[in-house]
Structure 1
Amino acid sequence: MGEYDYIVVGAGSAGCVVAEALSRDGASSVLVLEAGGSDRNFWIRMPIGYGRTFFDPRINWMYRTEADPGTGGRESYWPRGKVIGGSSSINALIYCRGMPTDFEDWKASGAAGWGWDDVRSHYEAVERRIGEDGSVSGDGPLYISNVRRDIHPSNRHYFAMAREMGLPVTDDCNGPDPEGVTHYRITTKNGRRWSAADAFLRPALKRRNVTLVTGAMVERIVIERQRVTGVSVCLQSGRQTFRARKEVIVSAGSVNSPKLLQLSGLGPGALLRDMGIEIVRANDNIGGNLQDHLGINYYYKATEPTLNSMLSPWWGKLLQGMRYVLARRGPLSLSVNQCGGFVRSREGLERPDQQLYLNPVTYTTAPSDKRPIINPDPWPGFILSFQPARPTSRGRIDIRSNDPADAPRIVPNYLSTRKDQEDVVAGGRLIQRMARTPAIRTFAREAIAPDIEKLDDAGILEDFRERCGSVFHPVATCRMGRDETSAVVGPDLKVFGIDGLRVVDASVFPNVTSGNTNAPTIMLAHRASSLILRERARRPV
């Protein structure tokens, strides 16, 4: 039985940050437990390689939701990182802080101390911004690259479209003017993915007081008289209990954190009784309040070469592969999501209500003996895409049994509110106006059915239900708030009623932020670490 000051469950985006911060003094011992394995994988390192990791069970939990009425009775596929670095090792690399008003929403919902003025400094502390010319701004460990010099030239049509529509254009959605169409910043360093493991965990592992154990499935948090004393872990060598002298920090993500709490006797009382689990503390919010973004693509054949032309033929893949290996440049060094931004779908709105993805590529998912493969189509094409930025629907994640090996039951309740349905129609109408601009008329040879321009409001919503998909931003299943009537943790991220236990990951978001969730997850972990360290400094020795 090992004993450590802190045990961090999960070496994902949040856990890596926490482990680095809590071990910085060199005195506190930190154990990091990761269910997955090594991230030393070519497809992880190469940015565009996430098309390969998307369906790889060796590094991906590959969750599926229950059939959902809001999306035509379809199941949704949810990739989640099962690897060092977590989902920051397999995501699409987009770095979006979110709109400042997102965090004012957090504060208003009961997350005191989490408003924009509270969190901004934590973003700044982790960021190292690499300019288009190679200039560096900020001294944080997380590299965020401006890759505008490598984006495809056909992207110019998107910016022309924005100007024709009167939409704002911004240099950076993470800057002082975040609203508008832009080219996305991505988490890469010198053309390679720069995950949370690269930025935070690897520096921490150079210290003698940090231990990482991979292939470690935490099955249960050990709780004695309402205080956490350690965790029970399934290893290749068998089960083992690790003790925590100070705290256990659960950073297993929005799917696995509520699952672990429920397996440990924390959660809805009726559920735990049905599963034969002794109730340590009943709280229906554990696993509840789930939110996620839904997006949809509209496909077009193009009048000029796009990324398809470069990456569809075998010789194109070979050429760009050689360019990447030799120079770390070109489309393989980028995210497929090159442009987009945050815009208002109509006049009169107080803030952006839609996130756009505007991509010079179309693709299909081809079957394979081992796993599906994402391939560009054999013609030049492009995508217009939107996701409503702030859904209001709430779902649940709950254990199916008391067996830790069973995947949980994910019930998203997508599009279950009238507002979410109205936001879908507003986003579809926005895409219609985009498609009718001279810039897009010039770029589009033809729409690939269904043609958004031919749909009325009912048709937009019906098509969205039939074709939309998760944008893989699940949050809020261990929601932060004032008390147990609506939340799982307080603003200090301590689990209500249990000593020595915090949850630090996207599951504690009170609400989903307007855009991609990796950046706010890293920010949250950085601020959470500062809270833990501040509290530690106040304790008598």
Structure 2
Amino acid sequence: MSAERFEGDWDHIIVGAGSAGCVLANRLSTDLRRRVLLLEAGGEARHPYLQVPAGFLKTFRDPRFNWNFTTEPGPGVDDRAMHTPRGRVLGGSSAINGHLWVRGSARDFDGWAQAGCRGWSHEEVLPYCRGLEDYRDSAHRGAGGPQHVSDIPALHPIVAAFLDGGAECGLARNPDYNGAAQEGVFTYQRSIRRGSRFSAASAFLAPIRRRANLRIVTGAMVLRIETASGRATGITFVRDGRALTAHARGEIVLAAGAIGSPHLLQVSGLGPAALSRALGLPVIADNPGVGENLQDHYAMRVVHRVIRPVTLNEQARPPRLWWEMARWVLTRRGMLAYSPAHAGAFARSRDTLEEPDLQFVFTPASYSEEGVTGQLQDVPGMTIGVWQCRPESRGFVRARQSDPRQAPAIQPNYLAAAEDRAAAITGLRVARRFLGTRALAPWSAAETAPGPARQDDDALLAYARAKGATVYHLCGTCRMGGDGAPVTPELRLRGVDGLRVADASVMPRIVSANTNATTMMIAAKAAAMMLRQSTTNP
């Protein structure tokens, strides 16, 4: 397919307008001498489902906003293939996620630096974390940044009981798990502003749409990265049935995520040489690590039936739902203005650990489908989900065909590592303790999942294999690091000039947190590095 030239040369071409791409576009275009092009396969984020926080459940499988990937069947999860949502809209997955703002622990980033990622220690990334936020000004937090972060406005009585029960489990209330320490029970901070979702597109693109040096192109399906003489020279994409090539006189930045970025590199001949040959593609650069090192958080849930009809299950059904809809439209308040998880905890599975190894999410609701989220049940319920903070299992993303429009093979290898299986069992036991506190006893009728019959380790592991699910924190597939890593600590792809990767795929190891905030930090630091470097025609 021959391609037309697209609007001259660009100093920066960004592939993907998700959490990372929105930050990159905002920061790079602050220098008005630079022409910045942002390409997004999806469309604008105007639909009500993308504005109402509770619309999360409606976007979960909607192809208008979602790539709807599916993993390969996994031996560790009873050969199940899992639905894996990824945002396909301005804002990317920040436009369809569960809103939780969690930055990770200091040890996460110090571990990156110790593993060869120079410049990525906690002390060095903290200014970028703080600079993103509009929350509160402190040594650990930021105020006045583009990304609004809010606290939950009111406590459901069952959530208040969950927090009270934390002391029975040996945990104190933590007023800010994104502050000096993670451990404790807390209400979650959310990317919600005045009752509406506040995605990366809301925070970083909406205020700058009129910048003359920024061009945002939606509906642009990228086909390949163009190269010549060892340098990335442009991006070929399809829009409205036309093939177009945008030429880069500066740098190209991949921000297509842990699935999209390695996949695009592979179909451009910039991944593992053996895979390029198998796809019938020329080997432009041999990067064996591209697509490997896939990591994700794998969650299990414990569910209790609730005695009284006061949970979100009842509020989400007519006629109460009609009232809640009207309330949100008129006031931006009520059930529809909440994130799916209201409260949570970071806890240690054993006292000998130096920091938490388990993360929990709690909601006064219960779900009919497998996994952590899905269709609300018809009876009152409450749920706690749990996952291991830093799993050991590693998987891969690999192109099946040379056509990037065909989804790649995605194999997370959940529960492949013995440490992860042990953590799943322990996590379920700790979650049971959380729901079995005296504080929650007045609300609880009985445990419905895993169920009282599952008590020994084998039964709990079988439950984890059969009913666990992704929490959508895929990362690591273009890991940065020293020699042997496909991406340098400066986020340059090895083997070709003029090309960087700046999204969740560069994480060498998953953070002990939801990954959205860290992804934005990576993009902010990438932009700062790029702005410090002179371009051909700045």
Contact 1:476 1:507 survives alignment (8 Å): yes
| SS of the residue 1:282 aligns to | coil
Q: 1:322 to 1:130 in 2, by over 3 A?
A: farther
* Superposition map of 1:469-480 within 5 A: 469-480=469-480
Q: How does 1:91-106 map to 2 (within 5 A)?
A: 91-106=97-112
Return the match for 1:193 from 169, 191, 197.
Answer: 197
SS in 2 for 1:169: coil
Alpha-carbon contact 1:432-1:453 (below 8 Å) kept: no
CA–CA separation in structure 1 for the residues paired with 2:115 and 2:210:
40
Partner of 1:405: 405
- The aligned residue for residue 499 of structure 2 is 501
How far apart are the structure 1 equivalents of 2:74 and 2:454? 26
What is the SS of the residue equivalent to 2:439? helix
The corresponding residue for 1:141 is 146
Tell me the equivalent position of 2:81. Answer: 75
The answer to whether residue 128 in structure 2 is matched with residue 122 in structure 1 is yes
CA distance in 1, matches of 2:208, 2:253: 16
Q: Determine the structure 2 residue equivalent to 1:14.
A: 20
For 1:13-52, what aligned pairs fall within 5 Å after superposition?
Answer: 13-52=19-58
Aligned partner of 1:334 among 331, 335, 338: 338
CA offset at residue 214 of structure 1? 0.8
Amino acid at match of 1:530: A
Find out whether 1:344 has 2:348 as its counterpart: yes
Distance 1:166 1:450 in 2: 23
State whether residues 302 and 432 of structure 2, in contact with CA within 8 Å, keep that contact through their aligned partners in structure 1: no
Gaps of 5+ in 2: none
SS at match of 2:160: helix
Match of 1:299 among 303, 310, 313: 303
Q: Which amino acid aligns with 2:503?
A: D
Q: Check the 8 A contact 1:7/1:244 in 2, yes or no.
A: yes
CA contact (8 A) 2:131 2:142 kept: no
Determine the C-alpha separation between the residues in 2 that align with 1:452 and 1:358. Answer: 20
Q: TM-score, normalised by structure 2?
A: 0.95
What is the distance in 1 between the residues matched to 2:308 and 2:135? 33
Q: Of 204, 213, 235, which residue of structure 2 is paired with 1:209?
A: 213
1:209 aligned partner, one-letter code: N
In 2, Cα distance between the equivalents of 1:244 and 1:225?
Answer: 14
| Alpha-carbon distance between aligned partners in 1 of 2:144 and 2:283, rounded to the nearest angstrom | 46
Distance 1:444 1:320 in 2: 25
Q: Is the 8 A contact 2:22 2:204 kept in 1?
A: yes
8 Å CA contact 2:219, 2:240 repeated in 1:
yes
Say whether 1:57 aligns with 2:66: no
Q: Return closer, same or farther for 1:137/1:244 CA change in 2, 3 Å cut-off.
A: closer
Deviations 1:103-123 (A, max 9, x none): 111111111111110111111
Quickly say closer, same or farther: Cα 1:452–1:434, change in 2 above 3 A.
Answer: farther
Aligned to 1:369: none
Q: Match of 1:440, SS? A: coil
User: Larger deviation: 417-426 or 222-231?
Assistant: 417-426
For the residue of structure 2 that corresponds to 1:438, the secondary structure is: coil
Aligned residues: 527
Q: Deviations 1:288-340 (Å, cap 9, x if unpaired)?
A: 00000000111111123433354243011011111111111111111110100
Counterpart secondary structure, 2:368: strand
Task: Please tell me the residue identity of whatever aligns with 1:19.
Answer: A
1:370 is matched with which residue?
none
Give the match for residue 228 of structure 2.
224
How far, CA to CA, are the matches of 2:450 and 2:423 in structure 1? Answer: 19
Name the aligned partner's letter for residue 482 of structure 1. Answer: G
Q: Aligned-pair distance for 1:283?
A: 1.5
Measure the CA separation in 1 of the matches of 2:294 and 2:94: 20
Residues 109/452 of structure 1: CA separation in 2 closer, same or farther (3 Å cut): farther
Give the aligned residue type for 1:508.
V
SS of 2:186's equivalent in the other structure is strand
Deviation at 1:374, TM superposition (A): 4.4
Deviations 1:147-198 (A, max 9, x none): 2x33322111211221112113201211223221110010011111111111
Opposite residue 403 of structure 1, the aligned amino acid is: D
What is the aligned counterpart of 1:89 among 88, 92, 95? 95
Deviations 1:211-243 (A, max 9, x none): 011110111000111101101111114101110
Aligned pair in 2 of structure 1 residues 110, 30: CA closer, same or farther (>3 Å)? same
**In 2, distance between residues paired with 1:413 and 1:60?**
23
2:116 match: secondary structure: coil
User: d(CA) in 2 for partners of 1:514 and 1:279?
Assistant: 36
Cα distance in 2 between the residues matched to 1:110 and 1:253: 22
Q: Percent identity?
A: 39
8 Å Cα contact 2:71/2:410 also seen in 1: yes
> Aligned pair in 2 of structure 1 residues 137, 97: CA closer, same or farther (>3 Å)?
closer
> Quick check: 2:116–2:481 contact (8 Å CA) kept in 1?
yes
What's the CA shift string for 1:491-538, capped at 9, x where partnerless?
10000121100001000001111110000001111111111111228x
Partner Cα distance (2:58, 2:326) in 1: 18
Contact 2:503–2:522 (CA under 8 A) maintained in structure 1: yes
Number of the residue aligned with 1:488: 486
Amino acid at match of 1:119: V
For 1:173, the aligned partner's letter is: Y
Matched ranges for 1:410-449 at <5 A: 410-449=410-449
Aligned mates of 1:213, 1:540 — CA distance in 2: 22
Q: What is the CA deviation profile of residues 340-374 of structure 1, one whole-angstrom value per residue up to 9, with x for unaligned ones?
A: 021112211111000001110012259xxxxxx94
CA distance in structure 2 between the partners assigned to 1:229 and 1:112 by the alignment: 27
Question: Comparing 213-222 with 170-179, which one deviates more in the overlay?
Answer: 170-179
Superposition deviation, residue 268 in structure 1: 1.4
Aligned CA distance change for structure 1 residues 519 and 392 (closer, same or farther; 3 Å): same
**Structure 1: tracts of 5 or more residues without a match:** 367-372
For residues 417 and 456 of structure 2, the distance between their equivalents in structure 1, rounded to whole angstroms, comes to 20
Provide the rounded CA distance (Å) in 1 between the counterparts of 2:316 and 2:499: 50
Residue correspondence of structure 1 range 285-296 to structure 2 within 5 A: 285-296=289-300
Deviations 1:415-437 (A, max 9, x none): 11111111112212212333432
**Contact 1:312-1:377 at 8 Å conserved across structures:** no
Task: Please state how far the C-alpha of 1:254 moved relative to its aligned partner.
Answer: 0.4
How do residues 154-173 of structure 1 correspond to structure 2 at under 5 angstroms?
A: 154-173=158-177
Which whole-Å CA distance do the structure 1 matches of 2:537 and 2:317 have between them? Answer: 66
In the alignment, the residues of structure 2 paired with residue 458 and residue 440 of structure 1 have an alpha-carbon distance, to the nearest angstrom, of: 27
1:318 corresponds to which residue?
322
Structure 1 Cα separation of the partners of residues 454 and 279 of structure 2 = 50
Query: What TM-score, normalized by structure 1, do the two folds share?
Result: 0.94
CA RMSD for the aligned pairs? Answer: 1.8
Q: CA deviation at 1:101?
A: 0.9
